[in-house]
Amino acid sequence: MFNRPNGRKVETLDATFSYPENSKVSTARIESSPTTRMAVITDQVEIKGTLAFDGPLEFNGTFEGEIISQGILTIGTEAVVKAEIHATKVVVRGKVQGNITATESVEVCDNAELFGDVRTAKFIVSEAATFRGRSDPIEGKASAPEFAPVFRRLSSPAKPK
């Protein structure tokens, strides 16, 4: 269903990333910075497995597996993703096959394709996007209004004047 355009050769990268421990001083300096740095994974990267991160990430490559984040995930226009996604916020600009759970919001932009179920507090789908799946609110965020009193009023006979 999702094939890489323009027929270029794609190499698979199997990698384990580890980050050195930051001291509290440098961590505090990063958190207080007015500009948030975004990590970017280019369209020349293919990953299979589990991707876990904090903070914002723009992913433009090919991915198969599971994505877990406490940050914002932007799936770029060149991205082809087949995954179960759990994040704070997800912005889809490319192609995604899989379910998304986001505690804050999911946005499917123009020309994006999303095939899977969505669970989130706020769900935005552009008119020019493709979405095939089911959407459910996260528990406790939305409930159906009580229509019984309204229907009783509408069905009661009108009193003559």
Q: Mean pLDDT score of the chain, rounded to an integer?
A: 77
| C-alpha neighbours within 13 Å on the C-beta side of residue 137 | 8
For residue 160, being part of any structural domain is answered with no
* Domain ranges, residue 38: 5-155
> Taking a C-beta distance cutoff of 8 angstroms, is the pair 99, 81 a contact?
no
Residue 84: CB atoms within 10 Å: 14
> Taking a C-beta distance cutoff of 8 angstroms, is the pair 68, 51 a contact?
yes
Digit-coded pLDDT (tens) for 63-101: 999 999 999 999 999 999 999 999 999 999 999 999 999
For residue 69, being part of any structural domain is answered with yes
- Number of structural domains, the chain? 1
Digit-coded pLDDT (tens) for 121-157: 999 999 999 999 999 998 755 555 565 555 565 665 6
For residue 161, being part of any structural domain is answered with no
For residue 82, being part of any structural domain is answered with yes
| Beta-sheet strands, E only, within 43-139 | 46-53, 57-59, 62-69, 72-75, 80-92, 95-97, 100-108, 113-115, 118-125, 130-132, 135-137
- Rounded to two decimals, what is the model's pTM? 0.67
Q: Is the pLDDT reported for residue 9 higher than 60? A: no
